[in-house]
């Protein structure tokens, strides 16, 4: 009985040793001081990996190091927000090391924010901010509850007399 316990413990300890190594810690993307961008992706078995983005004329091949990390640094780009993705053996995918994504109807791509020397229009700045409220309404046409987002500017008073312009955003269209 004692030998069975020893054998079981030995076999269990061997399974701990046989675990595959953890992948290296990766930070991707990294925007460098000169506005070039370094992309990294870990995959020991991939044959080809490319990065593709609106800031590139065509996909750029990445190179794998001995630990299985694919990387490439692309030339400096104009400050802005850019969607990008990886092509891993002909399969397009978002960057698994980047939680910022650009979601559209068909595919989610990652986003890289290249800051400018001056704040860009989308940059968070120390100015008064308005409020975005999530509202719900019953749609008689669709027979279901729908969601609506309402932006009110800083200092907005719902009971006030001041009139504000209205812009309705719907699926990339603006109605003013």
- Which helix (H) or strand (E) segment holds residue 17: the answer is helix 2-17
- Give pLDDT, residue 15: 63
- Give pLDDT, residue 14: 61
CA-based nearest residue to 101, from 91, 110, 88: 110
Tens digit of each residue's pLDDT (9 = 90 or more) over 48-89:
999 999 999 999 999 999 999 999 999 999 999 999 999 999
DSSP E strands: which ranges in 43-143?
49-53, 60-61, 63-64, 69-74, 80-88, 91-93, 101-103, 108-114, 131-139
- Give pLDDT, residue 110: 94
- Chunked mean pLDDT (size 10), the chain, 176 residues: 69 62 85 97 97 95 96 97 96 94 77 92 87 90 88 89 82 48
CA-based nearest residue to 50, from 70, 24, 80: 70
- Give pLDDT, residue 80: 95
- Give pLDDT, residue 165: 86
> If you count DSSP H runs as helices and E runs as strands, how many of each does the chain have, helices first?
1, 14
Q: Which domains, and CATH codes, for the chain?
A: 22-114 (2.60.40.10), 131-175 (no CATH)
- Give pLDDT, residue 59: 97
- Give pLDDT, residue 124: 84
- Give pLDDT, residue 149: 84
Contacts of 50 (CB under 8 A, 6+ apart): 59, 60, 61, 62, 86, 87
Give the span between the Cα atoms of 39 and 58, in whole angstroms: 15
């Amino acid at each position: 009985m004692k030998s069975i316990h020893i054998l079981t413990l030995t076999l269990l300890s061997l399974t701990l040793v046989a675990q595959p190594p953890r992948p290296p810690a990766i930070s991707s993307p990294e925007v460098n001081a000169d506005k070039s961008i370094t992309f990294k992706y870990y995959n020991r078995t991939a044959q080809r990996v490319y990065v593709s983005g609106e800031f590139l004329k065509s996909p750029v091949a990445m190179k794998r190091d001995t630990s299985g990390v694919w990387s490439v640094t692309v030339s400096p780009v104009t400050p802005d927000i850019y969607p990008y993705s990886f092509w891993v053996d002909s399969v397009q995918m978002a960057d698994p090391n980047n939680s910022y994504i650009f979601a559209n109807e068909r595919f989610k791509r990652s986003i890289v924010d290249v800051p400018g020397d001056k704040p860009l229009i989308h940059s968070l700045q120390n100015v008064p901010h308005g409020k975005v409220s999530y509202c719900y309404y019953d749609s008689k046409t669709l027979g279901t509850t729908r969601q609506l987002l309402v932006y009110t500017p800083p200092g907005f008073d719902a009971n006030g007399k001041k009139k504000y312009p209205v812009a309705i955003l719907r699926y990339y269209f603006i109605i003013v």
